Amino acid sequence: MVITFCCPISKLGTTARMLTERRDMKKYIIAASLLLVLFVIPASGYGNDKAITDEVNADVSKLVALMKDSYAEEYEKARGIKIMTDNVDNNVVAVAVFTIESFGLGNNYTQFMAVFTNLSTASPGHPQRLSLLDVKVVGGHGLRAVEFGKINIRKVNIKERKVLITMPSLEYGPEDGMCCPSIKSNIQYSIELAVGGRLVEIKKN
């Protein structure tokens, strides 16, 4: 005996429509997800400041390895990083201040400032990356002490893509020992965000 189960034609048509609508809905969801990704990811090409900070930290560690001698080491607690992002012109600026001590096995320390920026925007097959523009001595034993945790960055010339970097500092007074500068001040540097951009200190009158 053969038992045949038969569904009404109306039910078969309803099932087919449901399957078609479900496939169409999946297409809409995929398309919407792609649009969401395009509009949520910042124009800078980085997901968040942590990704930039991680990249800069890795680059600074490479710089330290290149710059120190066989005695010197970085004092890692004296590393500061400040990031400025601008999604209008897809620009990222990162400033890092780091300290290397005991060059030549001496009782000394030197504070360096490094500036990174993206020289191009991301494109298929070419992810955005930060390039080192310049690195310069900004403080240290016998020079002055800079507050690495209080870096300020601001644009000063949009057309020339220049930024101004400011930090509090302690300068040496006439009676200060080499260990202890005591005069509160600020240091300022400008730099053009382009290939060959160099840090230029803005001297006070």
Residue 131 has pLDDT above 70, yes or no: yes
Mean pLDDT, residues 7-20 taken together: 46
- Summarised one tens digit per residue, pLDDT across range 37-94 is 333 333 345 546 888 899 999 999 999 999 999 999 999 999 999 999 877 667 899 9
Which DSSP category does 193 fall into? S
- pLDDT attached to residue 134: 96
- pLDDT attached to residue 25: 53
The total number of residues shown for the chain amounts to: 205
- pLDDT attached to residue 189: 97
Reduce the DSSP state of residue 46 to 3 states and report it.
coil
Helices (H) and strands (E) in the chain, counts: 2, 10
Give burial (CB, 10 Å; 0-12/13-18/19+) of 116. Answer: buried
- pLDDT attached to residue 38: 33
Q: Which amino acid is at 65?
A: A
- Summarised one tens digit per residue, pLDDT across range 135-166 is 999 999 999 999 999 999 998 866 668 999 99
**pLDDT band per the 50, 70, 90 thresholds, residue 205:** low
CB 100 within 8 A of CB 74: yes
Sign of CA dihedral 175, 177, 182, 187: positive
CA distance 96 to 26: 46
CA distance 184 to 175: 15
- pLDDT attached to residue 124: 84
Residue 33 has pLDDT above 60, yes or no: no
Residue 113 has pLDDT above 70, yes or no: yes
Beta bridge partners of 203: none
CA distance 78 to 167: 14
CA distance 52 to 139: 25
- pLDDT attached to residue 191: 95
Place of tokens 């930290």: 57
Reduce the DSSP state of residue 183 to 3 states and report it.
strand
Angle at 13 between CA 11 and CA 15, to 5 degrees: 70
Residue 201 has pLDDT above 70, yes or no: yes
